[in-house]
Structure 1
Amino acid sequence: MSRPENIPDEVKGSQFTQVGGLRTHAYVRGKGEPLVIVPGLGCASWMYLRLARELGKKRRVYVYDPPGHGYSEGRWDYPLHIEQLSDHLAAWLEQSGLGCAPMLGHSLGGEVILDLAARYPHCTTALIACAPTGVPENPNVAVQLLRLLRDLPRERLQLLGLGFKAYANVGARRIVLLAHDQERHRTGPLLGRIGVPTLLIDGSRDPVIHRWTVEAIQKGIPDASGVVIRGGTHALTDSHPRAVARFTLDFLAEVEAEKRRS
């Protein structure tokens, strides 16, 4: 691991791990049992600091930057597919020493953790998917963009600045290619293979992910529950960090209590 001097003050808790020859970043905060946050398409760890602060009061939180996102290295030809994102996440869990941990994924990050749980069942004990993409199918890139444009006025102005920085860092080419791959990727057939408790969190004011999409995911996972945050936007992890953290921590406490009883 290394820690370069140019990391901004707000992420001085950064750690870097070599994964497949790529330096992979995670912002780490808090103490206790681990919890990993997986960002959405084009997003970066610095967009989830409000949520990390809330969760860090009870857990040791790792805000993971996927390859080519945030402070993590990528290659021009990698990653371009959803499976590559979940493959890298599984490898990072091993290389970082976490091995297995609960996952909280937002938007595309929610689709990634669902893919991870189905294909790498040894890597996680519980899932929290916030406004997840993937079921029954992802819309084409033009529709995704239109939905996102509808959501932008509903988000905090400060988040928009952080988001533009993150998107510029990832680059339009990678974002478009990953978005195109979402049309190909089918999460639906994988849902029945998910064997860990799953919480789906939806925002009532989210124009990007429709309520019926989240309900379809919930029906497909054997042990899934759902909750709607009133007033939550697509970036509900930023607009309502306390509510997301409360539901997440309560859910994990129940999961861990049930595990102790069994």
Structure 2
Amino acid sequence: MGQLRFRSVARERSSRPGALAERWTTVDGVKVLYRESAEPPSEPEPRVMMHLHGFGLSGRYLLPTAERLSSEFHTIVPDLPGFGRSGRARGLDVSDLARSAASLLDDRGIPSATLVGNSMGCPVICEFAHLYPERLERAVLVAPAGGLHNQPLTRAVGQLARDGVREPARLISVAVPDYLRFGVPSTVRMFRALTRYPSLERLLALRIPTLVVIGSLDPLMPTPARVGEVARQTDNHVVLVVIHGAAHAINFSHPGELANVIRRFMADEPILDDPESDGEARAYEIHRSPRVPAKGPDAGPAGA
């Protein structure tokens, strides 16, 4: 990607706790909107966390979770090129989006970060890890999509339709404008790119602490048993968490529980359910790295 230049700073929801400021920059001639921690966390050198959105959407629906973590992490939530309010992009594939994420970190002078993705954002994270392994500290894959379970396009559309009735009604006002702005031609091109992307190969190649979070009501995901079966094909440090009562857009529908799970994962703490938040989190530790104490000799439930 080309050199980035910072263009302007705007303000958004500055009165809300954890609110992120809207900012603009340019990635290879494309104007890109992103949201960033308005107030830096209290730590001298806070860890950086970038949240990456799903297919056809913008970063807006990720804000409920991102804002809950912004006091502990230097938080960035972009509309990737071609999505949301960012400008149209020439190329629209997974590699392009991963490079754009890296270029945005370059613009902010950030050498490495933890990436939190939802749906399509998860393949983007896997490609980021492939292209820039030294720049990815941890991966948080929330409802990863884009594999064989979501093909062909007609099947994916049907899954999205079933998911729509399981999500909070207030998501409509966020998602519909994003989908309309993204458009049918971009939808076809991006879906085609996702079907060609080696998602499973890249996922199994991850060599960093990885958290996989899925919802028990998500029609776009295989069963938790199948997800666990895939996770066991790698010796990477993987924690699988099922949030019962959640569907696909967990970052929007269950932000308190998801933020709690991410917070504990980042601190290498056992994943325990947050009784004050919607949903019930249950963790299954597939593999643990040597520096992270295991719960016991077998991979099993690690939380309530």
TM-score with structure 1 setting the length = 0.88
1:175 aligns with 2:175: no
CA displacement, residues 3-22 of structure 1 (integer Å, 9 cap, x when unaligned): 377x7657870122222122
More helix by share: 1
Q: How many angstroms does 1:213 deviate by? A: 5.3
SS at match of 1:2: strand
> Which of 4, 17, 20 is the equivalent residue of 2:28?
20
Q: How many angstroms does 1:55 deviate by? A: 1.3
Q: How many angstroms does 1:111 deviate by? A: 1.4
Any residues of structure 2 matched to 1:114-193 within 5 Å, and which? 114-135=126-147, 138-193=150-205
Aligned residue number for residue 73 of structure 1: 87
> Which of 189, 212, 223 is the equivalent residue of 2:237?
223
Compared CA separation, residues 26 and 213, structure 1 to 2 (3 A) = farther
Q: How many angstroms does 1:138 deviate by? A: 4.3
Q: How many angstroms does 1:259 deviate by? A: 11
Amino acid at match of 2:130: A
> Which of 106, 111, 118 is the equivalent residue of 2:123?
111
Runs of 4+ in 1 over 3 A off after TM superposition: 7-12, 134-138, 258-261
Q: Distance in 1 between matches of 2:48 and 2:30?
A: 23
Whether the aligned pair in 2 keeps the contact of 1:135 and 1:217 (CA below 8 Å) is no
Aligned residue number for residue 2 of structure 1: 7
Whether the aligned pair in 1 keeps the contact of 2:139 and 2:211 (CA below 8 Å) is yes
Whether the aligned pair in 1 keeps the contact of 2:20 and 2:67 (CA below 8 Å) is no
Deviates more, 1:175-184 or 1:37-46: 175-184
What is the percentage of aligned positions where both structures have the same residue?
Answer: 25
> Which of 83, 105, 108 is the equivalent residue of 1:93?
105
Q: How many angstroms does 1:190 deviate by? A: 2.0
Q: Distance in 2 between matches of 1:259 and 1:56?
A: 29
Whether the aligned pair in 1 keeps the contact of 2:149 and 2:221 (CA below 8 Å) is no
CA displacement, residues 206-232 of structure 1 (integer Å, 9 cap, x when unaligned): 111122553354234422111100101
Aligned residue number for residue 45 of structure 1: 59
Q: Where does structure 1 lack aligned partners over 5 or more consecutive residues?
A: none
Whether the aligned pair in 2 keeps the contact of 1:18 and 1:95 (CA below 8 Å) is no
Q: Distance in 1 between matches of 2:108 and 2:256?
A: 28
Q: Where does structure 2 lack aligned partners over 5 or more consecutive residues?
A: 1-5, 270-288, 293-304
Bigger-Rg structure (1/2): 2
1:254 aligns with 2:259: no
Aligned length: 256
Root-mean-square deviation over aligned CA pairs: 2.4
Q: How many angstroms does 1:125 deviate by? A: 0.3
Q: Distance in 1 between matches of 2:166 and 2:101?
A: 30
